[in-house]
Structure 1
Amino acid sequence: MNLLPAKYGAIVYSSDIKALARFYIDLFSMRVARETPELISLVKDGFNIVIHTPPFDMPAAQFSAVKLFMTVDNLAAAREKAQQFGGKAFDDEWSNPIFTVCNIADSDGNVIQLREFSV
């Protein structure tokens, strides 16, 4: 297991890191690379998400929104799974010649763009 910090990925703060990690593990088949009481580091195909308990009290207005993008095999199936795992699915889709996209929200309300490639 590689314990070096990833060069690319995202940090997502959560008040319930285990529940949010379970959402990403179940929906995107990510695996746990590292877990401590304060954080859970998830990886898949070179992408890293660190789900972290906020290190100190911070006003909600100071938190930055994070929007991830993830590739899935089937948008409709991913939307349905997102709802099953406590997230939300949005109806709109956009397409280009390479992929179709839509948005979901995870169980903490963070917006994620899903991409289904045509090629």
Structure 2
Amino acid sequence: MKGPARYGAVVYARDVRRLADFYRQFFGMTVLRETPDLISLDKDGFNIVIHVPPVEMPEAGFSPVKLFLTVESLAQAREAVTRYGGSVMDGEWCNPVFRLCNIVDPEGNPIQIREFSR
């Protein structure tokens, strides 16, 4: 896989090394990238990013797994999500390869959406 993945999941963990070792050993995943805050793993094109949570994880009411999906346009996706029963979370972030924001599905599950640079 070249460059950041377009589809996969972010899994928040207090101990990223321990969780990454589990996925590597049990599922045979390969480390693509490693920093102190995250380890990116791949298996047959599916990407799991094990990441230190951005906030302290509460014991209840917090999902440690967040899907990430690619959209053509963040602006259009942000406008459309409410029509389908979801909502948009505050904030937008970018790097040289893609921009991202977070939405919430009708059941309250967070989803990161990415718009890749052309």
Q: TM-score, normalised to structure 2's length?
A: 0.50
Partner of 1:19 in structure 2?
A: 18
Q: CA RMSD in A?
A: 2.3
**How far did 1:33 drift?**
0.4
Aligned length: 67
Q: How does 1:1-119 map to 2 (within 5 A)?
A: 2=2, 4-64=3-63, 66=65
Shift of 1:65: 5.3
Tell me which residue corresponds to 1:111: none
User: Aligned equivalents of 1:58 and 1:15: distance in 2?
Assistant: 8
Q: Residue 38 of structure 2 aligns to which amino acid in structure 1?
A: L
CA distance in 2, matches of 1:56, 1:64: 12
TM-superposed CA distance for 1:67, in Å, is: 9.4
- Give distance in 2, aligned partners of 1:8 and 1:46: 9
Q: Distance in 2 between matches of 1:66 and 1:57?
A: 15
Gaps of 5+ in 2: 68-118
Normalised to the residue count of structure 1, the TM-score between the two structures is: 0.50
- In structure 1, distance between residues paired with 2:64 and 2:35: 24
5+ unaligned residues in a row in structure 1: which ranges? Answer: 69-119
Shift of 1:63: 1.6
Q: Using the alignment, how far apart are the partners of 1:39 and 1:66 within structure 2?
A: 14
Identity %: 64
Partner of 1:105: none
